[in-house]
Structure 1
Amino acid sequence: MHYMKWIYPRRLRNQMILMAILMVIVPTLTIGYIVETEGRSAVLSEKEKKLSAVVNLLNQALGDRYDLYIDLPREERIRALNAELAPITENITHAFPGIGAGYYNKTLDAIITYAPSALYQNNVGVTIAADHPGREVMRTNTPLVYSGRQVRGDILNSMIPIERNGEILGYIWANELTEDIRRQAWKMDVRIIIVLTAGLLISLLLIVLFSRRLSANIDIITDGLSTLAQNIPTRLPQLPGEMGQISQSVNNLAQALRETRTLNDLIIENAADGVIAIDRQGDVTTMNPAAEVITGYQRHELVGQPYSMLFDNTQFYSPVLDTLEHGTEHVALEISFPGRDRTIELSVTTSRIHNTHGEMIGALVIFSDLTARKETQRRMAQAERLATLGELMAGVAHEVRNPLTAIRGYVQILRQQTSDLIHQEYLSVVLKEIDSINKVIQQLLEFSRP
């Protein structure tokens, strides 16, 4: 199939010219072939009718002359009949130039006349071959038109039997050289070729003119679309006819694209989450304001630069580069990102970017700052731990305070019952320490209260 690209052009204009040429040439040649075939058939039919008319004239002019000179010897009778009938064939062939005609006598088995005599007199008296079509005419008593090589050469020969009183006396012929017929047919073919060639040339000229006009309009649309790919606000000029409808449709599509792109840009620009897109080489192509605030980098610093420059000197694992290189997509992955001035806790989601053909052209990361949330979560966890500790301390205080109360009561009883001063002093110290413990327990209880 590789040869097709050399035969079938790629440009639309050339394709249209080729198709138009084929649409003109094929019917024209078909019509020309039909006309030529029908013309040749008509020429042959006209020749056959003319030859048939000639032999009928010869038959009418013959009358009963074949009965003359029956007593003469064969050679003398041939000469006598030739002298009698030659003026008839001469006059008729003179009226129909290019035609040869004559009489054949079955009894004498010889050509009686063959006009024009100036050309064919030497054939008088000649006997036709056994396979000559004339013998078929005499045998079957049926007219016949035969094309082929005979006495005169390659001819179209019309023959009818000579029948008198139910007896076949011979046959009459009138013929014309096939070369003359071919020459006449060729003249007709030349006229047909001239007409067809003129028609084709005029058609081709019109095709080229119209294709140039159409191609110019197509080039305007093509150039406009190329510019549109780089500059969406571009509008195509209004063109006439269907091309105008196409240009208007393209302008409407461009307007819809502008509105869609504006909406998409607004969504990205006003998103609370950061958005960064990179191409297949890992260079930053898009960065929204939220990404600037979160990372601490400005858009003009990163767009067009390798994304990896943000963490060249760190051990940071980049989910978006992983997506770009290995196709792994991450959802709500929490990472610590090395920002400009601080490490940022982020929740990131990555995905691949595909074009309209399904080819991957880059990767996208959407992220949100978890730093404040993480701090809040840390404080809440600390508060929960403190609350748990308070509850634990309150329980411990209650569990310790009750036994201490009992101990203090028993120590007081012991101090009242003993008279030993040393024991009383020791018991007073115990009471003092118990009161200190109770004081600490009271503070713990007060701390644990909400």
Structure 2
Amino acid sequence: MKFFSSLRFQVAFTFLIVVIVTTLSLGSLLIKETETKFWKAEEEKLSTIGRQLVSSYNRVSEKLKVQADLLNTDLDVIKKTQLETALFDYTKPIHEENEEIGVGFFIYGDDFNRPLAVQESKSKDSEKIRVVFPVYENGKKAGFVWVEEPKDLVLSEIESLKAKERNIILVVLLISGILAIYISLMFVKKVTIIKTGLENLKSDLSYKLPVMNGEIGEISRAINDLSTSLLVSRSNSEKILETIASGVLIVSRDGIVKEFNRACEELLGVRKKDVIGKRYTLFPHLKEIVETVKGG
């Protein structure tokens, strides 16, 4: 129980709690932000492919129109025979690059409404994420193009990213925890130095605290300045006591001789160095004087 109530434990525990809460909060926000950005990136990827296919359809349509004019043939006839083959030239490379992506066209016609140049996703039975873009011809909607990707694949990639981020968070948490403990121990060490210094100053005003940085350093400098002032004051007081003709004897509440000037030495025939720091009761003359003063 003594350890848990110590300053070292309390400071380290506080630092750790702050670090853990902060790291986990920021980590949670980072994971959510990553997931949101990933979904947007996936949507943008599919949308980019869709826009490319719309542009491709426009080029194919214009090309077939020119061909129909040259052959003096109805455009729908040309479409029936060549449209799908021409569109395959655009959907096939996309699918070959990533077999999980499915693409295709659905074109309206007077005598056909059917999908064209379809490239199915490798994961046929899984739920899909799909984007759809309309295609126009002569200002009228001629059909649409779709691009799709298995939802499970996207979720798997997101989970993989989350796992990596969790590992990073754990590493950051571990490093932060170690730093928090180190910083708290350094803080407690400085406080302990101050405490030890104050205890030493009780018996020795000439004791100086070591130079330290930061706010703790300012405290240590202030204590050193104070001890210097007290030392000067005591020195002046001792000079006065040593020069006055009257005997001066100072005894603490617990009976320890604290001051014994030269006049006392001459009056009582006892040397100062023999009585300072000792109980007055050990010296009959001193005991008699002190007891008389107490009784008076």
Q: Does 1:47 align with 2:42?
A: yes
Contact 1:287–1:303 (Cα < 8 Å) also in 2: no
| Residue equivalent to 2:69 | none
Contact 1:101–1:116 (Cα < 8 Å) also in 2: yes
Partner residue of 1:165 out of 127, 138, 142: 138
1:163-312 equivalent positions in 2, closer than 5 A? 163-209=136-182, 212=185, 215-236=188-209, 238-239=210-211, 241=213, 247-263=220-236, 279=253, 303=280
| Residue equivalent to 2:7 | 10
User: Shift in Å at residue 240 of structure 1?
Assistant: 5.6
Post-superposition CA distance 1:51-89 (Å, at most 9, x none): 123223433454459x858xxxxxxx9xxx989977864
Gaps of 5+ in 1: 1-5, 70-76, 123-151, 312-317, 322-336, 338-450
Which residue type is aligned with residue 98 of structure 2?
F
Return the structure number with greater helix share: 2
Are the structure 2 counterparts of residues 180 and 158 from structure 1 closer, same or farther at C-alpha, using a change threshold of 3 Å?
A: same
User: Shift in Å at residue 214 of structure 1?
Assistant: 5.3
Partner residue of 1:97 out of 96, 99, 102: 99
Contact 1:157–1:173 (Cα < 8 Å) also in 2: yes
Contact 1:103–1:112 (Cα < 8 Å) also in 2: yes
CA distance in 2 between partners of 1:231 and 1:49 (Å): 76
User: Shift in Å at residue 272 of structure 1?
Assistant: 6.0
| Residue equivalent to 2:67 | none
Are the structure 2 counterparts of residues 288 and 45 from structure 1 closer, same or farther at C-alpha, using a change threshold of 3 Å?
A: same
Contact 1:90–1:117 (Cα < 8 Å) also in 2: no
CA distance in 1 between partners of 2:159 and 2:103 (Å): 24
Are the structure 2 counterparts of residues 96 and 284 from structure 1 closer, same or farther at C-alpha, using a change threshold of 3 Å?
A: closer
Are the structure 2 counterparts of residues 109 and 45 from structure 1 closer, same or farther at C-alpha, using a change threshold of 3 Å?
A: farther
1:43-442 equivalent positions in 2, closer than 5 A? 43-62=38-57, 63-64=60-61, 68=76, 89-104=91-106, 112=115, 115-116=119-120, 120=124, 153=127, 155-209=128-182, 212=185, 215-236=188-209, 238-239=210-211, 241=213, 247-263=220-236, 279=253, 303=280, 337=296
CA distance in 1 between partners of 2:213 and 2:35 (Å): 46
SS in 2 for 1:175: strand
Gaps of 5+ in 2: 65-74
Partner residue of 2:22 out of 26, 44, 49: 26
Contact 1:217–1:239 (Cα < 8 Å) also in 2: no
Post-superposition CA distance 1:67-113 (Å, at most 9, x none): 858xxxxxxx9xxx989977864553233332122334567997726
Are the structure 2 counterparts of residues 83 and 9 from structure 1 closer, same or farther at C-alpha, using a change threshold of 3 Å?
A: farther
User: Shift in Å at residue 278 of structure 1?
Assistant: 7.4
CA distance in 1 between partners of 2:101 and 2:91 (Å): 10
User: Shift in Å at residue 192 of structure 1?
Assistant: 3.4
Contact 2:53–2:145 (Cα < 8 Å) also in 1: yes
SS in 1 for 2:7: coil
Return the structure number with greater strand share: 1
CA distance in 2 between partners of 1:223 and 1:20 (Å): 27
Contact 2:105–2:115 (Cα < 8 Å) also in 1: yes
RMSD over aligned Cα atoms: 5.4
| Residue equivalent to 1:366 | none
Which residue type is aligned with residue 54 of structure 1?
I
CA distance in 2 between partners of 1:26 and 1:9 (Å): 24
SS in 1 for 2:205: coil
Are the structure 2 counterparts of residues 95 and 188 from structure 1 closer, same or farther at C-alpha, using a change threshold of 3 Å?
A: same
CA distance in 2 between partners of 1:117 and 1:245 (Å): 70
CA distance in 2 between partners of 1:84 and 1:191 (Å): 43
Are the structure 2 counterparts of residues 116 and 254 from structure 1 closer, same or farther at C-alpha, using a change threshold of 3 Å?
A: same
SS in 1 for 2:136: strand
Q: How many residues align?
A: 258
Are the structure 2 counterparts of residues 165 and 204 from structure 1 closer, same or farther at C-alpha, using a change threshold of 3 Å?
A: same
TM value normalised by structure 2: 0.57
CA distance in 2 between partners of 1:199 and 1:15 (Å): 20
Q: Which has the higher contact order (CA 8 A, sep 6+)?
A: 2
SS in 2 for 1:232: coil
Which residue type is aligned with residue 94 of structure 1?
E
Contact 1:276–1:288 (Cα < 8 Å) also in 2: yes
